[in-house]
Structure 1
Amino acid sequence: AGAPGEAWTETSVGLLQPLPLRQWVHLCVVFALPSITTYVNGKLVSSGTWPYPVAADGLRIGAWFGPVSHKGLISDLRIYGRALAAPEVGELADDPARARADYTLADESANPPPLAATFENRRATLAIDLRGRIASLRSKASGRELLARPQELVSARLQDGRQITARRASFANDALTFEFSRGQGVAVLAVDAREDFFTFTIRSLSVPHVAALTFVHLPVVAAKYRGHMANMLSDDTEAVCLRGYELPVEMAVGGTPAALKVWTTAAHGLTGWRAGLAAGAKRDMPAMLRAMTTEAGVPASKLGGAWSLGAEANRGSYLFADLSLASVDDWIELARRGGFTHLHLHGWWDTLGHCGVNPQLFPNGLADMKEAVARIHAAGLKAGIHTLTACIEPRDAWVTPEASPHLIASASYTLARPLTPTDRVIYVNEKPAAGHDVVSTYMGNGNAIRIGTEIVQYSEVMSEPPYAFAKCQRGVFKTRPAAHPAGARADYLQQRYLAFYPEPGSPLAEELADGIARVFNTCQLDQIYFDGSEGMMSRYGIDFMRQAIFKRLRGEVLAEASEWGAHSWWFHSRLGAWDHPVWAAKRFHDLHVGSAARFRDSDLLEPQMGWWAPRGPSAQARGHFLDEMEYFGAKNLGLDSAMSIQGVNVSRQPLPFHLEKQFTVLGWYEQLRLARYFDTQTIARVAVPGDEFRLRQDRGGAWKFTPVKMSAHRISALGNGSERWTCRNPFADQPVAARIEALYSVAPYDSPKRIVVTDFADAAAFGRATSSSAVSLHLDVATHDVRGGDRNLRLRAENNGTARRGAWAKAGLAFPAPYRNLSGAGALGVWVKGDGKGALLNLQLATPREYMHALSDHYVTLHFTGWRYVELLLRERDVEQMTTYQWPYGGHYDLYRNPLDAAHVSEGNLY
């Protein structure tokens, strides 16, 4: 489809619905072009027109796309090389043997297709049949068949979008030759059976116009754990791991049944690349992959990839440190207090890009930084650095005063008219692509266009002829405005985190990698975090940049990264760091533990439970308290996981007392965890999600846990009953303790400074109304018995199902760009008329993607009848109960972390 001369439109011709049960049904489709006719039990039921050629590739029975949908029996499948007449169809359908529903399943295993080749090592045997399928992958340790079903090993996607599959295989001259149908060509693969794994190499491909070539595809039965970074499927006893050796090899885990795949693309070369397959007992998989790592010749670390599990260095935690030479001793003291093994230097660079050393922290540059690291080492700690891996900030010399030609462009255009140095409209020949932002924000795509060495920022996109970028600011980032002729190239520069990125493989990318490695090696650092590389926005670009840096580093390096691409697994030490929560820290940490707990099994990597931040109170949120830090430490102990802390700074002044106390308690947990002080039964008890404990020493010096119950209650207003509260402690003989947090007051409902979000003048404005399948929702505008205005919105939702959880309805109000400005508002003031039935009303505001997408939920329980005025403080987000309910949205950062940008509100939703 889409190829010249091969355009077509989709047509459907019915058969029957539903398929009758417990009886044989004869189905027939006749192609007598341009007519298609369908028959059921010999009788014509429908017809249609198809004025296009008919072609076929592989035949798939029981499904069209996705998982198999037909769960019954299929017998006597026939394909004719001509169109059958109606009488012939009737004769075929009139089969007395099908009058009864009795059947006998054929034993297909009794007559397997002949094998083209068998390969064997000490871990597994691998068989390829003459149909080009992998026929068996059997573990020698257990004798278990690890293949979920026979699967064609080799397929190709052509440049016109068609998918073709090789269905014949032969073996000669130490290579497998896979033939595609209708003489389209062959793919030749070498299979090298090593002691612990198999290596596949694409020797050649003769099929023309190939966009992508899949050269190993394995559906696997052991699929309890899916490791997307290791590209491994496993259960508790067996594992299968398929890994590309070179960066051009793509890897993926997915499908039903779960399968492993590797493929190459025309963009980076289709042939000459390799992949390794390891299969067998899971306990032996690290050893198999260590051998594979050596064979692959990839950058690796004895603290990462196949060496990660059990490496003692990977159990240690790190503290983010905006450290100066003058404050080294203060940071060492704080690290010791908190039980950290590493200080993680952050903000050490002068500009992202060239990555020189920040003279405000280290006046003598790299020499001072080297001295600081030497003092950290002398104190018995290790040191690492944070990098925004490929980020080039606008003030770097690769951007200003002349923009490098090697910055990544996500779209390119040609000038339709000459551009003078003062013109503020850029006319282009091509229609602007999707994804252009009109502002420059941290999470946005940016609005920067490079023409020559000048960078221009626009504020308006004209997507109808004449195509243009308007309201431009010329010569931004101190580049020089210049004249540009018609036909000149205009590149939309790729941005994320307010930074630009280098083209992978360019001299710029190599120079950037050299700069980071120079600092790392000169200072003899121990650890690195590859942050921000996802801004490269391509799998190949991300992996290229990380490998380019890592292969230049000296020593056994502990490495982590914000993007978990499979090609970095070889040297990746720990997996799982998330940005810290702002609201509902304990529930967020439960979700984080639940996610990270699988990584040892799924990817053979140690977990990482950072980045946590002991936040103080702010205009946005209440901050964190000692019980939240203790919960964090306890659950990390339960997982025996490293963690990391950010958001504190002792370079200018000591920590406030409440934060120092949190570090003291955290240090207890960390030191005891590293010492393996507690037995497994105690650790398992402490690990239970939601359960809380206090760790203290008894009079004999032994460390003991005491279970506690933390309960919270919010007084929404005086006089409405919320000021009375009863709390019961399930544990006997414990003293009570209370913490009172003051809520801020807000202006009254009729304040002249109030901002009206909506006056409900038109129910149709709430056009984003929807509901779960069991709920019916009705909206209308009420004008009688109203509050706050002449019109109110009435929502009537009825649950027609049996379950309360997951029964939701939504009425949504959209505010298109440039969005709604609610700046200065600290609360929502809402009149609510309850029916006393106990339903939950959720009032939600949302911020769009380019302003760091956020969802701010605020709950009102309708346990009252009649009117009630409710003040919902934006600072008090009701995400603590998020997991109690089932909503049609999610997003850990959107809900638990990202602040609402009140100046750019894109949605107001009522759930």
Structure 2
Amino acid sequence: MKRMKTVRTAFPTGGVARIVLGAALACAAAARAQQDAIVLENPRVRYVISPDAVNLGFIDRATGIDYLRRDAASACALVRRDGKDHAATSVSRAGDRLAIRFGETGVEAILGVESRDSYIRLAVESVTGGEIESLTFLNVPLTLRGRPDEPFGACAFSLNLITRVDQLPALQTELRAACCRKFGIAGAKAAIVGAPIERVLPALKSVLADADEMPHCTVAGPWAREVPFNHGSYLFNFGALTEATVEEWIGAARNLGVTQIDNHGGSPAFFRFGDFALNREKWPEGWETYRRIVRRLHDAGIGSIFHTYAFFIDKQSRYATPVPDGRLDAFRTLTLAAPAAADAREIELAEPVKGMSTITGFFEHNSVVLHAGDELMTFATVAQAPPWRLGGLTRGAFGTRPAAHAKG
């Protein structure tokens, strides 16, 4: 027979009381944080931040449902200095201004806040406390999937060119807006939209109607579904449409029941992405020639679409050669671990490069182009173990000038 044992866990004297008291104190602290919280709201959404800069809620005011993702605590803002992100540590509000501080960095950001019926507007007014590389002034992870079958939608919308919002409108899974030293920090602006799903597009219309630094185009974006033209079909033009062939294109479109021509550039046969330089052999007067072509299409009742790929930069454009523009973006920043001569075919780097790829293509989010000073170079090999090197370099790529580069 086995003897059964009753196992008891004993508390030291007063242990239960201490646990209960600790829980009570924790609840009281949480209640105080909510009571002292900073609240940004309009009639549709309430965004709540604790005094220690932690996101507390992103709430649909009609239903009370909180869409803040809570798998981990999230700071309302971050700064990057010397390649390292620092989360905000405190935030306070005085009237229509937020003061966000970043602990030991000594950095303080002042944001202007304006609540409107359809959105909340944030604007970076100043940053003090030394140089920073970037400021993420809106950072709200959400439980939303960014799908139209959800009851609620949210969107961060950039209000000028110096403000970076990575997720596309209109439905997003996180609200994140940032600015960087490279393009300017003071003056960055973003709108926060949170609304029942059927009110998201009308809210974005209000955002764009009020925006004074953005193009105002009422046939695209939140207006797109309402415009009959946008529901038509089209033919792609990769550079064959000229003044000599325009009547043939009109005839083909009518025969096929097509209502639009999509002008798709990206090759020497048509126009370059980036600087939109047009092939002058086909269109001797440049875009003035093309205006006449578009006018003829319109007279025939056929629409003309300009397919820009605005985020593409052709490597033969004036932004890349002969001197690459300092504003060109990059996937990552690397540091030379040793000087590189102008004819070096390999460079040594301080950071690990394991996992970097040399595969490129239209559907590959990748690049093998390095930008150092006024030189572009390409690499063909990547070290998978220290010392970290990129090899097979083509120096002075795309018509730039090879140069020596110092360590660092």
Matches within 5 A, 1:512-551: none
* Distance verdict in 2 for CA 1:456–1:366, change over 3 Å: same
Partner of 1:378: 299
Give yes or no for the alignment of 1:310 onto 2:231: no
Q: Aligned match of 1:287 in 159, 179, 202?
A: 202
Give yes or no for the alignment of 1:343 onto 2:273: no
Give yes or no for the alignment of 1:246 onto 2:160: yes
* Distance verdict in 2 for CA 1:319–1:135, change over 3 Å: same
Deviation of 1:342 (Å): 0.4
* Distance verdict in 2 for CA 1:476–1:110, change over 3 Å: closer
**What residue ranges of structure 1 are gaps of 5+ in the alignment?**
1-22, 26-40, 42-89, 227-233, 418-425, 491-911
Give yes or no for the alignment of 1:330 onto 2:252: no
* Distance verdict in 2 for CA 1:313–1:173, change over 3 Å: same
Q: Distance in 1 between matches of 2:318 and 2:192?
A: 45
- 8 Å contact from structure 1 (residues 323, 346) kept in 2: no
Partner of 2:341: 416
Partner of 1:111: 31
- 8 Å contact from structure 1 (residues 251, 261) kept in 2: yes
Deviation of 1:381 (Å): 0.9
Q: Distance in 1 between matches of 2:393 and 2:100?
A: 57
Q: Distance in 2 between matches of 1:415 and 1:276?
A: 45
Q: Distance in 1 between matches of 2:12 and 2:299?
A: 91
Q: Distance in 2 between matches of 1:290 and 1:318?
A: 26
* Distance verdict in 2 for CA 1:145–1:241, change over 3 Å: same
* Distance verdict in 2 for CA 1:287–1:368, change over 3 Å: closer
**What residue ranges of structure 2 are gaps of 5+ in the alignment?**
1-6
- 8 Å contact from structure 2 (residues 112, 122) kept in 1: yes
Deviation of 1:220 (Å): 3.6
Q: Distance in 2 between matches of 1:139 and 1:409?
A: 36
Q: Distance in 2 between matches of 1:278 and 1:91?
A: 53
Give yes or no for the alignment of 1:405 onto 2:323: yes
- 8 Å contact from structure 2 (residues 81, 132) kept in 1: yes
Q: Distance in 1 between matches of 2:319 and 2:167?
A: 38
Structure whose alpha-carbon radius of gyration is higher: 1
Deviation of 1:318 (Å): 1.4
Matches within 5 A, 1:258-277: 259-277=174-192
Matched residue SS, 1:329? helix
* Distance verdict in 2 for CA 1:190–1:91, change over 3 Å: farther
Q: Aligned match of 1:191 in 91, 101, 113?
A: 113
- 8 Å contact from structure 1 (residues 121, 196) kept in 2: yes
Deviation of 1:146 (Å): 4.5
Partner of 1:124: 45
Give yes or no for the alignment of 1:299 onto 2:215: yes
* Distance verdict in 2 for CA 1:107–1:246, change over 3 Å: same
**CA RMSD for the aligned pairs?**
5.2
Q: Distance in 2 between matches of 1:213 and 1:384?
A: 36
Q: Distance in 2 between matches of 1:24 and 1:264?
A: 59
* Distance verdict in 2 for CA 1:309–1:203, change over 3 Å: same
* Distance verdict in 2 for CA 1:287–1:470, change over 3 Å: closer
* Distance verdict in 2 for CA 1:136–1:108, change over 3 Å: farther
Residue deviations 1:645-695, cap 9 Å, x none?
xxxxxxxxxxxxxxxxxxxxxxxxxxxxxxxxxxxxxxxxxxxxxxxxxxx
Residue identity opposite 2:42 in structure 1: N
Q: Distance in 2 between matches of 1:260 and 1:189?
A: 16
Residue identity opposite 2:124 in structure 1: I
Deviation of 1:340 (Å): 1.8
- 8 Å contact from structure 1 (residues 440, 447) kept in 2: no
- 8 Å contact from structure 2 (residues 102, 108) kept in 1: yes
Give yes or no for the alignment of 1:201 onto 2:123: yes
* Distance verdict in 2 for CA 1:338–1:141, change over 3 Å: farther
Deviation of 1:351 (Å): 6.0
Superposition TM-score, scaled by structure 1 size: 0.33
Q: Distance in 1 between matches of 2:131 and 2:371?
A: 33
* Distance verdict in 2 for CA 1:449–1:264, change over 3 Å: closer
* Distance verdict in 2 for CA 1:261–1:334, change over 3 Å: same
- 8 Å contact from structure 2 (residues 345, 393) kept in 1: no
Q: Distance in 2 between matches of 1:143 and 1:471?
A: 58
Count of paired positions = 367
Q: Distance in 2 between matches of 1:381 and 1:244?
A: 33
Matched residue SS, 1:326? coil
